[in-house]
A and B are shown apart, each in its own frame.
Chain A
Amino acid sequence: MARCRGRKELKTLDKDENCVPTREPLLPQEIIVEILNWMPVKYLLRMRCVCKQWNDLIQDHYFIQKHISLANSRHVYYFNKWKVEGNIDEEHHDNYKSKHETFQLVCGCDGMLLKRSNASHKCLIHNPTTRKILYLPDCGHDLSLSISFSFVPSIGEYKLVSIYEDTATGNEGCEVITVGVDESWRPLQLPNSHGLNQSRRKLSVASAGAAVHCFRVTEVVGEVFEEVLSLDLETECFTSTTLEPGLFSDWKKVWALNWNGHPALAETGREELKVLVIEDYKKKYKLAENKFGVSLEGAKKVMQGDDFVPLGAERGILWVWLRDKKMFGYDIKHGRVSRELSVPEGYNITDTMYIGRESLATLRGMQKQPSSWRV
């Protein structure tokens, strides 16, 4: 039987007399999957009830990852206390409150947020779009220095890496957990090349390219050492590289960040940002060769002075945090501010924030968020 694919039917969806509808899909399954990949998350959640095949597909890990990689979903920004969505004209509280519990944002990844209960200090991962949560096992220390949340494509799992102050040794300690898999946090040995007499001056951490990178500055009897420690999230092995002295003029203004998927270091200045992209951290790298400047001329009006923190670059947009005041996205190529996020009067952006996109990302063991949570 000839396939019914009359133009009129496609255009108007009329089941007219000349065209007996056959129940054959108009487009092959693989193309429907491609189309669904471009749909917004909220709509996909609704489309799960179209048929069993779609329901399975929308919960499939490969589909979810492809959907995240296309990054066609809308941006969401989360701050402690405040969340600003979409085109920055909509603002919401992000203190998900049950009757008894409030949470602080710690960090985020692929549209999921790591939050800590203010009362019990228990941590959980929350996908506010799918409204699912997963409580994490307790870690034996305070999340004092840094925690990063990353997807590891080679193993298809999410990992959390926590770097904390080890009160016993005075150095940094490190723990990792494969989310939804491990029942407890696992300790990792952080390289400490300078022995016990060192004191930490700075630690800036960024996750990029399935690895966590720490820019660490230590002082050993009056001498300052700058290094990058990179933790491969698949093998969980560290690589450390000591930076050539004089590479940066002032380590206080240097930050680790994700530069379009690559780890990078950036030094803030009044006129420009000096960026060093680390193409392959496992190879011995000469940073000076990769150093380039990003002029911030077009952002002069928005920022005053050089007290800002570069958060990272994604698809040509550099995200910048002006301490306590606002965040903005800077279009590097066109040299202009493309997005501006102001914090409502009377509020500050506190210690953490997350810029991400809504996603279907899910973890083993995730459950529905309690119905008492206010949305």
Chain B
Amino acid sequence: MAFTKKVTLKSSDGELFIIDRAVALQSRTIQYVLEDTNPVDAIIPVPAVDARTLSKVLEYCKKHLIDLNTDFEDYSKWDKDFVDAEVWMLYDLIMAADYLHIPPLIDLICDKIASMFKGQTPDKIREIFNIDNDFSKEEEEDFKKKSGWAFK
């Protein structure tokens, strides 16, 4: 018999992940579920996250649990490699991290997405985030006049 308690998570596309309880507890959402219902051998559904994303999230949770003795610098290297992914993967990850409520993972991905977008023009940003420009032409001109230095 394994000493550590296991928890089973079920992704939106039906895949089962059997993981250590301690790994699952890094997600506050799952922590609450476990505290409230304390399901013995029950399967916890994670309807908002697909298997591919969930396995990636769990990879992060395992790394940040097991290697408590890992040097800070090694962690940052590992984290850097972890978020070296396509934009869509980062979007899926951030949605999953938000749903599962894993603050350090949210910070890590936000920092990465921010660094990818920080060179873009306001037009490009509107396109990326699908945002309507609700400023009038005059207001926009006024912006450039008043804080044109920020655009240099």
Contact = CB atoms under 8 A, between A and B. Distances in A.
Interface of A: 7, 10-11, 13, 21-28, 30-32, 34-40, 42-43, 45-52, 54, 70, 72, 131, 333, 368, 375
A52 B110 contact: no
Nearest to A316: B72
A372 B91 CA distance: 45
Contact of B87 (A10, A43, A72, A368): A10
Contacts of B144: 49
Contact of B143 (A36, A48, A70, A368): A48
A131 B132 contact: no
Given A13-B127, A34-B107, A51-B132, 19 more contacts: A10-B87, A26-B91, A28-B98, A30-B98, A31-B94, A31-B98, A32-B129, A37-B110, A38-B111, A38-B113, A46-B122, A48-B143, A49-B144, A50-B122, A51-B126, A51-B135, A70-B107, A131-B149, A333-B72
Contacts of A35: 110, 113-114, 117
Interface string B124-142: 0111111111110000100
B95 interface: yes
Contacts of A52: 134-135
B149 A49 contact: no
A10 B129 CA distance: 10
B94 A25 contact: no
Given A42-B150, A52-B135, A23 B111 contact: no
Contacts of B110: 31, 34-35, 37-38
A21 B143 contact: no
B94 to A, nearest CB: 6
Contacts of A49: 122, 135, 140, 143-144
B94 A27 contact: yes
Contacts of A27: 91, 94-95, 129
Contact of A21 (B91, B94, B130): B130
A43 B114 CA distance: 10
Nearest to A45: B150
Interface residues of B, number: 37
B134 A45 contact: no
Q: Is the interface of B mostly helix, strand, loop or mixed?
A: helix
Nearest to A40: B118
Contacts of B127: 13
B151 interface: yes
Contacts of B129: 25-27, 32, 50
A10 B91 contact: yes
A32 B150 CA distance: 21
A32 B125 CA distance: 11
Given A23-B130, A25-B131, A34-B106, A50 B114 contact: no
Interface in B10-57: none
Q: Which are the 9 A-B pairs with shortest beta-carbon distances?
A: A38-B114, A45-B150, A10-B88, A49-B143, A38-B111, A34-B110, A7-B88, A35-B110, A46-B150
A248 B121 CA distance: 56
Interface in B100-124: 106-107, 110-111, 113-115, 117-118, 122
Contact of A72 (B94, B111, B130): B111
Nearest to A24: B130
A50 to B, nearest CB: 5
B133 A43 contact: no
B147 A36 contact: no
B126 to A, nearest CB: 6
- Interface centre among A22, A38, A72, A131, by most B CB within 10 Å? A38
Nearest to B111: A38
A152 to B, nearest CB: 25
A39 B118 contact: yes
20 contacts: A10-B91, A11-B86, A25-B129, A25-B130, A27-B91, A27-B95, A31-B110, A34-B106, A34-B107, A36-B114, A38-B113, A39-B114, A45-B147, A45-B150, A46-B122, A48-B147, A49-B135, A49-B140, A51-B126, A51-B133
